[in-house]
Amino acid sequence: MKDLVIVGAGGFARETAAAATAAGWQVLGFVDDDPALHGTTRSELPVLGGVDSVTDLDAAVVVCVGNPRNYTARRSIVERLDLPAARYATVVHPAAELGAGSLVGPGTVLLAGTVLTADVTVGSHVAVMPHAVLTHDDKVADHVTIASGVRLGGSATVRAGAYLGSGALIREGVTVGERALVGMGSVVLHDIPPGEVWAGNPARPLRRKLS
């Protein structure tokens, strides 16, 4: 057993706790900046204290925060903690499949049913929700969120901090720009510039992000 502390105590954090336990980690609990949670339990695990307390704990760390309304939060916390890469766990559910030549960075979580077919590169602190499929030669940069049921065609690129909503389909060879957001169920046939919000079938730009 390897000791693990999870930053955050929301839904993704609890899903990661279940995946980590299945993968052989000993999850010590959560840390969260909401003082109302301190001393309580979530999914039968304790909330140990604030986020900064991980620096005093002898355990690996994974940051599991963020949602479509604030999907840059994970990157902000990683930068705030400023921990060495060796402190971060890579959590891969036993029901995920990693094909030959695929690489996954520290701090990344692959939940159950995720498939990386062949020669896929996934960066650091990436969140991949259940049943996402990344096909040959895809490249996913740091701090990306890939929601459940997303499909990436071959040789697609997702730049740092982007968010792909549930069920989004990304055509082969397409690039999703840094911090862009793709709405759930969208079919992306063309490159998306950095910081833009796209949705629909076929996906079209809705607006630039305000922050």
pLDDT of residue 208: 65
pLDDT of 21 over the 50 cut: yes
Encoding tokens for residue 57? 């704990």
For the domain 91-200, what is the CATH code? 2.160.10.10
Percentage of the chain surpassing pLDDT 90?
Answer: 93
What is the rounded CA–CA span in Å between residue 83 and residue 53?
A: 12
List, by residue range, all CATH 2.160.10.10 domains of the chain: 91-200
CB 22, CB 50: distance < 8 Å: no
What is the rounded CA–CA span in Å between residue 202 and residue 40?
A: 45
- pLDDT category of residue 210 using cuts at 50, 70 and 90: very low
List, by residue range, all CATH 3.40.50.20 domains of the chain: 2-87
177: DSSP letter: P
Would you identify the CATH topology of the domain 2-87? Answer: Rossmann fold (3.40.50)
Q: What pLDDT, in 10s, does the model give residues 83-108? A: 999 999 999 999 999 999 999 999 99
